Amino acid sequence: MKSKTIVIGTGSTLAMLMAAGAQASDGYDAPASWPSPMAEHSQASVLVDRLEYASPDKGEDALVWDFQAWYGGDINRVYLKGEGENVQGDNEDAEFESLDLLYSRLIADFWELQGGIGYQGGIASNDHPERYFGVINLQGLAPYRVETDLSLRVSDEGDVSASLESEYDLRITQRTFLQPRLEVSAAADEVPEFGVGEGLNSVRTGLRLRYEVTRKLAPYVGGYWVKSYGDTADLARASGGATEDTGVVAGVRMWF
Amino acid sequence: MAAAKSTSLPLSRRQLLKTGAALGLGTAALGLRPAWANPWGQAAGYPQGVETGPDLALAIRRDTLPIAGKTARPISINGTSPGPLIRLKEGQDAVLRVTNLLEEPTSIHWHGMILPPGMDGVPGLSFAGIAPGETFTYRFPVRQSGTYWYHSHSGLQEQLGHAGPLVIDAAEREPFRYDREHVLLLTDWTFEDPASVFRNLKLGEGYYNFQERTVADFFADVEQHGFADTAAQRAMWARMRMSSRDIADVTGSTYTYLLNGHAPSDNWTALFKPGETLRLRIINGSAMSYFDMRIPGLKMTVVAADGQPVQPVPVDEFRIGVAETYDVLVTPKDDGAYPLFAESMDRSGFALGTLAPRLGMTAAVPARRRIADRGMEAMGAHGDMNMSGMDHSKIAGMDHSGMQGMDHAEVPGMDGMASPQAGTMLPVGVAQPGSRYDQAGIGLDPTERRVLVYRDLKAFAPWPDRRPPGRELELHLTGNMERYMWSFDGKKFSEVTGPIHFEKDERLRLILVNDTMMEHPIHLHGMWMELENGAGDLIPRKHTLNVKPGERVSALITADAEGSWAFHCHLLYHMDAGMFRVVKVA
């Protein structure tokens, strides 16, 4: 059932991309065998925004990743986005907090509207509970150059949640950037299995100092502060976890 | 003009013979390529680098050649990159046989030439392109004279050095005299694959810009202008998600700027004898780079623009947009060396050669200027018009932020200005409101030295068609810099259906409004554009018009060339990203 949804979603996305590749050709004198005077290009890209080792004050160290890959033209694209972590020493497999396959369309100069399906759960094992989502994202560059990703999710059980991620690059030198980062998550329904409470779930802020060895490869160091609120905090306390934490990270940002 | 009589040799030939003895001396030193760029200028003694018409053959292949001391794989034409100087004579019937020895299709477009549509060399419009292994023969009557150039119109080949100078000797004496001439072809070379450059521009905004404003600049500005102004200005740019330092998309961080195929360190030298008057034929054959050209210590007299003679303008410096050509006369009196200094518009590098009486001499290289910040004119506000009374150093308060799809009413100079009423037109040759032909452009200070501006260009003689325009056609230059999408009227080439229609033999006015914050050199194939710069009957004829950010430029066109013609921004990656249209004259 679920895999069928994926197949249909992917298929329709690809169909939309193909339709977008048509060339302007009517009205010229050119025979059909001639090439188009200007070719339209599609691109593919992978951005690993964060690949980092995080060492919290409380709790276990973790390897954390946050990537997005896409293929398409200027207007229509297919995205694969994933965020997750592998907590060290918990004897559990790595977990995708989200793994989304999305169709994306440029709806304004700086904004893409994205929709598709998402997955949360373990990668290869049954170490983590699983669920699927319908996902709608608004991703883009807000005024003042704030990278923004606003996400609304409805799970296969009908649970609704939302999250906001934003980043800003402060240019210290031509290659050094200080990047404040903010993540806020909220939910309309309580899902204890995933540690999700009703209302504001958590706020996470971070600060990273990155050096661009090349534009495509930039190691960084940084730190973060995270706090859970309300029911979510209660759930955390019940499972013996901390409701507030700080940590340091070291990692690399890259794209190709 | 059509029939050529060859009884009188062109002036330049005679000079050539006169200097023949001197030419022999330089031979040993001339292991340099391309040979037309040899230090004694036009030289029958070294014809291997000059392909002289009317009948000539060109072979295009990928070669291993050194550039800036490193091994490079440029596209060569008859073994050189950039290609040989092609020399034709007005009145000839040119026969140019071009053989493609590449593994992909190629083409040559004869930039600025008025010729039959099938000979224009644009794949998909003029012909199918030249397939690998195939020879295509271009045949056209040469009906003009002056300095032009040629380049590939296939994909991104131009970035690989597939370009060269094209000089047409006049059938009749030109309105200026000189003793010797040199061709100066400016190009930008990158060791990166042009497809990667394009991809980097698409995916990484400001990828090549290492001159952005930093925190340190902020504090320096605070010290100079105070916190409030600095913060307000920064906030304005940030709110619009743009950069005031966005002067060039591709910069010296990847480019080596070349003069006649030579990096600055090569010290390519153009020779002269003190007291001679030299004609420098300067061609911007680069893919993406505007240059500011000067020869410190020498006054230059501009005598031709885009191949066409203009009334002489003495200047110290001029900006040459991509694909433009200027001919200047200089008369060095001293027995000393002068730098031929072409600084890129964003100041990230320069092309350099030496003008000297002997080989081996060097001149002091001028200090590079600092990158300029774009001001509010880039935002669509026109400083001289409705904004007078506003402090130009403070951009704060400017709110013309909608760059794409900008409303006509917000076009610079249109509001609060005696703009033409609907249905009426300005008289022929009068500058449009919103034009800035009297301004040199970003980063040039007219108080520092005399800089050429478009208003200075006056045709040497009026052109025959003096009809007023029968209609006006307005096109906006548009873009989305975050995605590196470039377009006319908000539509990339792939998004439009059908061409722009010109009626055969109609006289029309083409108005270009630049809604973006970048300069665009707009090039129309097959026909001249008469730049309405206020020079009345003497408005100059050009093949490429530089349109500054926020500027409104108008040109008169006689649509006498039946067929389909390319019309595009000559910044290679802008064109490839969609800033391209087809003009169909029928």
Q: What is the mean pLDDT of residues B239-260?
A: 94
Q: What's the token pair of residue B231? A: 């913060």
| B504 CB within 8 Å of a chain A CB | no
State pTM to two decimals.
0.88
Q: What is the DSSP string of B530-566?
A: EE-SS-GGGPPEESEEEE-TT-EEEEEEE----EEEE
Q: What's the token pair of residue B29? A: 């030193």
Q: What's the token pair of residue B208? A: 């090549």
Q: What is the mean pLDDT of residues A152-174?
A: 96
Distance CA(B268)–CA(B289), nearest Å, equals: 20
Tell me the pLDDT tens digit for each residue of A63-77.
999 999 999 999 999
Q: What's the token pair of residue B123? A: 């794949």
A interface toward B at CB cutoff 8 Å?
A: 22-24, 26-31, 33-41, 43, 45, 74, 106, 109-110, 141, 143-145, 170-175, 215-216, 255
Task: Read off the pLDDT band of A154 (50, 70, 90).
Answer: very high
CB within 8 Å of A18: residues ≥ 6 apart? none
Task: Read off the pLDDT band of B423 (50, 70, 90).
Answer: low
Segment among B219-233, B310-324, B394-408, B413-427 with least mean pLDDT: B394-408
Distance CA(B185)–CA(B85), nearest Å, equals: 10
Does B32 have pLDDT greater than 90?
no
For residue B466, count CB atoms less than 10 angstroms from its CB and return exposed for 0-12, middle for 13-18, buried for 19 or more.
Answer: exposed
Distance CA(B11)–CA(B3), nearest Å, equals: 18
For residue B302, give the nearest of B118, B165, B176 by alpha carbon.
Answer: B176
Q: Which residues of B touch A37 (CB under 8 A)?
A: 122-125, 493, 566, 580, 582
For residue A256, give the nearest of A215, A212, A213, A210 by alpha carbon.
Answer: A215
* Residue A193: count of CB within 10 angstroms of its CB: 12
- In chain B, the residue whose alpha carbon lies closest to the alpha carbon of A32 is B124
Contact B497 A29 (CB under 8 A): no
Distance CA(B84)–CA(B47), nearest Å, equals: 10
Q: What's the token pair of residue B226? A: 């105070």
| B84 CB within 8 Å of a chain A CB | no
Q: What's the token pair of residue B310? A: 């203009």
Most distant CA pair in chain B, distance = 73
Contact A27 B584 (CB under 8 A): yes
Q: Identify the three-state secondary structure at position B80.
A: strand
Q: What's the token pair of residue B538? A: 């003497």
CB B68 within 8 A of CB B208: no
3-state secondary structure labels for all residues of B250-299: CCCCCEEEEECCECHHHCCEEECCCCCCEEEEEEECCCCCCEEEECCCCC
Residue B459 is classified by DSSP as: B
Sign of the four-CA dihedral A9, A254, A219, B240: negative
Q: What is the DSSP string of A96-155?
A: EEEEEEEEEEEEETTEEEEEEEEEEEESSSSSS--EEEEEEEEEEEETTTEEEEEEEEEE
Contact A37 B124 (CB under 8 A): yes
CB B123 within 8 A of CB B105: yes
- In chain B, the residue whose alpha carbon lies closest to the alpha carbon of A168 is B238
The per-residue pLDDT for B381 is 38
Task: Read off the pLDDT band of B18 (50, 70, 90).
Answer: very low
Q: What is the mean pLDDT of residues B549-574?
A: 96
For residue A249, give the nearest of A213, A210, A203, A216 by alpha carbon.
Answer: A210
Contact B480 A143 (CB under 8 A): no
Paired with B320 in beta bridges are B291
Tell me the pLDDT tens digit for each residue of B189-199.
999 999 999 99
Q: Which residues of B touch A144 (CB under 8 A)?
A: 235, 238-239, 241
User: What is the residue type of B538?
Assistant: L
Contact B493 A37 (CB under 8 A): yes
For residue B567, give the nearest of B148, B147, B122 by alpha carbon.
Answer: B122
CB within 8 Å of A142: residues ≥ 6 apart? A110, A148, A166
| Residues 142 through 161 of chain B touching chain A, CB cutoff 8 Å | 155
Q: Looking at CA atoms only, how far is residue A128 from chain B in angstroms? A: 35
Separation in Å, CA B188 to CA A175, B182, B270, B468:
24, 19, 20, 40
For residue B512, give the nearest of B523, B503, B504, B526 by alpha carbon.
Answer: B523
CB within 8 Å of B20: residues ≥ 6 apart? B44, B45
| B578 CB within 8 Å of a chain A CB | yes
Distance CA(A63)–CA(B334), nearest Å, equals: 70
Task: Read off the pLDDT band of B142 (50, 70, 90).
Answer: very high
The per-residue pLDDT for B579 is 97
CB A92 within 8 A of CB A127: yes
The per-residue pLDDT for B39 is 58
Q: Looking at CA atoms only, how far is residue A138 from chain B in angstroms? A: 16
For residue B122, give the nearest of B105, B107, B111 by alpha carbon.
Answer: B107
For residue B554, give the nearest of B462, B473, B440 by alpha carbon.
Answer: B473
- Give the strand pairing for B180-190 and B278-284: parallel
Distance CA(A116)–CA(A100), nearest Å, equals: 7
Q: At what angle do helices B215-225 and B227-239 cross, to 10 degrees?
A: 130
- Percent of chain B past pLDDT 90, that is, above it, reads 74
Does B164 have pLDDT greater than 70?
yes
For residue B161, give the nearest of B190, B132, B135 by alpha carbon.
Answer: B190
Does B417 have pLDDT greater than 80?
no
| B241: nearest CB among A23, A39, A145 | A145
Task: Read off the pLDDT band of B3 (50, 70, 90).
Answer: very low
Q: What's the token pair of residue B295? A: 């020869």
Contact B497 A23 (CB under 8 A): no
Does B21 have pLDDT greater than 80?
no
Residue B306 is classified by DSSP as: T
**More reliable by pLDDT, B19 or B77:** B77
Q: Looking at CA atoms only, how far is residue A33 from chain B in angstroms? A: 8
Based on DSSP, count helices (H) and strands (E) in chain B, helices before strands: 6, 33
Task: Read off the pLDDT band of A97 (50, 70, 90).
Answer: very high
Tell me the pLDDT tens digit for each residue of A195-222.
899 999 999 999 999 999 999 999 999 9
Does B510 have pLDDT greater than 60?
yes
- In chain A, the residue whose alpha carbon lies closest to the alpha carbon of B206 is A215
Contact A22 B480 (CB under 8 A): no
| B354 CB within 8 Å of a chain A CB | no
Q: Looking at CA atoms only, how far is residue B215 from chain A in angstroms? A: 5
Contact A27 B124 (CB under 8 A): no
Phi/psi at A4 (5° precision): -65, -40
Contact A170 B215 (CB under 8 A): yes
For residue A149, give the nearest of A139, A141, A134, A161 by alpha carbon.
Answer: A139
Contact B238 A110 (CB under 8 A): no
Distance CA(B163)–CA(B147), nearest Å, equals: 14
The per-residue pLDDT for B426 is 87
Residue A5 is classified by DSSP as: H
CB B185 within 8 A of CB B260: yes
Does B487 have pLDDT greater than 60?
yes
Q: What is the DSSP string of B343-357?
A: EETTSS-EEEEEEES
Does B156 have pLDDT greater than 60?
yes
Q: What's the token pair of residue B309? A: 């003679």
Question: Choosing among B127, B207, B241, which should be mutated to test the A contact, i.e. which has the most A CBs within 10 A?
Answer: B241
Question: Choosing among A38, A41, A75, which should be mutated to test the B contact, i.e. which has the most B CBs within 10 A?
Answer: A38
| B239 CB within 8 Å of a chain A CB | yes
Q: What is the mean pLDDT of residues B46-53?
A: 66
The per-residue pLDDT for B185 is 94
